[in-house]
A and B are shown apart, each in its own frame.
Chain A
Amino acid sequence: MADLIGAEALRLMAAFEAAGAVPVEAAILQPASTLLDLYGEDIRSRAYVTSDPLRGEMMLRPDFTLPIVQMHMESRADPARYTYAGPVFRKQEHDESRANEFTQVGFEVFDGQNPAAADADVFAAIAGVLEGLPVRAATGDLGILMAAVHGLRTTGARKAALLRHIWRPRRFRAFLDRFGVRTPPPTSRVALLAMADPFANAGPDVGLRSRAEVQARIDALREDAAAAPISSEELALIDALLAIRETSPNALSALRDIAVDMPAIGPAVAKLVARLDALSERGIDVETLDFEASFGRTTLEYYDGFVFGFYAADRPDLAPVATGGRYDALTAVLGQGRAVPAVGGVVRPDLCLSLGGVS
């Protein structure tokens, strides 16, 4: 089986090379600190952590994205396309039947010239290698939700709080409900803001977080309490946006309806139109292509634009056969001031084989 997976991985890589990608490699052991800073403490429940006596905590790579982005940012080549293949490692804390080691074959495009074309190139290349397999594609675009948040008629602090939790739908929802006064503020906060001296009952100052920092947050809470709630019209528009789950043309017309009342999403919707055109040019049938506005919100938090996944049509138990998306913000975080628009995706050759009837 390992030989078959290896051969399938080579087939996939060859297809991505034909699409202009240069084959690259990455180390299996990655410094844990960078991954932790990017993904937060949650990554510990998903990646194997080990320790090196001199280098400190290391992780077995949970994916290739981080090392590939770092490599690209150091090389300063632009534009560039890469492909790679190799094992990735994922701890499975809840489901023993899920693989904890599997091969990923990836295709990454760093190119700011024409994002719609780059999105479509990656999607079409992956759709191409999966042709003939019983898979269905789902797509989304986190850029539209982000644009909607940016466009809300509310304070910058509230927008920042919502954007920070785009990838945590429950928290995002809780914030929306709070800012739209669907849920009242906690009594502890009301009491705090009513006090003439909030520090009257404060204990001793201990720890690194200073009184000035506490005061700054109280000021922010006062400002928030004084701000007008997000209107129920705007909340309804966000709800309508998040509920979109349609074929791409129907999703597009629903988004255009929303854009009438929420013009801020106009540019993001225009990007979707350009992408659909580019996909169409590459032979993708966009008439039947699913679009879900909430898609990609619960994956690793770095996608911030186009997102997609390919799923085994009759096997809901299987992990996705391929996933990918745009991660411009990640390159900015890792690029120390330099950002390069980037989009990419990975395919699992083992799942391709099992869906293709090889076992």
Chain B
Amino acid sequence: MLKLGVPSKGRLMEKTFEWFGERGVVLRKAGSEREYAGAVDGIEGIELVLLSAGEIPRELAAGRIHLGVTGSDLIREKLANWDARVSVIEQMGFGGADLIIAVPQAWVDVDTLDDLDAAAAAFRAKHGFRMRIATKYHRLVREFLRENGVADYQLVDSQGATEGVVKNETAEAIADITSTGETLRANGLKIIDDGLIHASQATLFRGVRDRWDDAQRATFKALEKMLNV
């Protein structure tokens, strides 16, 4: 069996079901709405595994699922050296969201990473600690800021309601996912011009194939044909 991991709830699940359905691969939840068992029609040899989108990168890398649908941001965040451990089969064209850096609108002097870096230096000199950026995307943000030579910041963990941390004075800036920017604006924040860290979308990934058997390889070929990827 070739195991396909798909987000277990919400819009991401529905859109994924739709995307596969349009290509003749019918995915559905088996049994009651609350159950996380799945079924596949239209092709033989594929088992649907319903998982949280955040766990799909790990399961793919470990080889416990063979294919998986999740956000490209989650793959990059959760897997070091992601491109050696999974491959992109198809970008699915939905679930789009940008991982960006945002600062208070009141920081009229900060529009670029240059400005952020200079503000961070001054902030540290004045307050005695490194400027705090709240995020749950630690790896992506850290690598981005390193590449761009931003110093004197620290990352503080924020797993939810990240837009509120500046008001609460637990961080000075944030790095978070946004699709329209509305929540940011409502919280008095603005996006830095060159602060786009990653433009994420739902993507179909494949794990490494070295331990696949012939049947799994044949199933994958058939699936590729149906999906036209």
> Which residues in A have some Cβ–Cβ distance to B below 8 Å?
36-37, 40-42, 44-45, 93-94, 96, 161, 164-165, 168, 170-171, 174, 186, 188-189, 192, 198-199, 201-209, 211, 213-214, 216-218, 221
Contact = CB atoms under 8 A, between A and B. Distances in A.
Interface string B141-161: 011011011011111000000
Name, among A40, A171, A189, A209, the residue most crowded by chain B CB atoms within 10 Å (CB to CB).
A209
B108 A199 contact: yes
B159 to A, nearest CB: 17
A224 B160 CA distance: 39
Given A94-B80, A186-B114, A201-B108, A40 B152 contact: yes
Given A188-B193, A203-B188, A207-B169, A214 B107 contact: yes
B111 A188 contact: yes
Nearest to A199: B108
A213 B123 contact: yes
A201 B108 CA distance: 8
B148 to A, nearest CB: 8
Contacts of A42: 142, 146
Residue among B80, B138, B167 with most chain A CB within 10 A: B80
B73 interface: no
B192 to A, nearest CB: 10
Contacts of A96: 81
Contacts, number: 111
Give 9 closest A-B pairs by Cβ, nearest first: A203-B105, A171-B149, A188-B111, A168-B149, A207-B166, A217-B109, A93-B80, A203-B188, A206-B188
Given A40-B130, A199-B108, A207 B80 contact: no
Given A186-B112, A213-B122, A214-B108, A168 B151 contact: yes
B63 interface: no
A164 B151 contact: yes
B106 A44 contact: no
Nearest to B80: A93
Report the interface size class on chain B.
Answer: 35 or more
A193 B193 CA distance: 17
A96 B105 CA distance: 43
B104 A188 contact: no
Nearest to A188: B111
Nearest to A160: B121
Contacts of A37: 130
Interface string B98-122: 0000001111110110110111011
Contacts of A199: 106, 108
B34 interface: no
8 contacts: A40-B151, A161-B118, A161-B121, A202-B105, A204-B105, A205-B104, A207-B167, A214-B107
Given A209-B119, A217-B118, A217-B122, A203 B104 contact: yes
A204 B151 contact: no
Nearest to A195: B108
A320 to B, nearest CB: 21
Contacts of A165: 149, 151
A218 B118 CA distance: 11
A204 B154 contact: no
B80 A203 contact: no
Contact of B106 (A174, A186, A202): A202
B154 A221 contact: no
A209 B172 CA distance: 7
A93 B166 contact: no
Nearest to B190: A203
Given A164-B121, A207-B167, A209-B119, A192 B108 contact: yes
A164 B124 CA distance: 13
Contacts of B108: 192, 198-199, 201-202, 214, 218
A174 B112 CA distance: 13
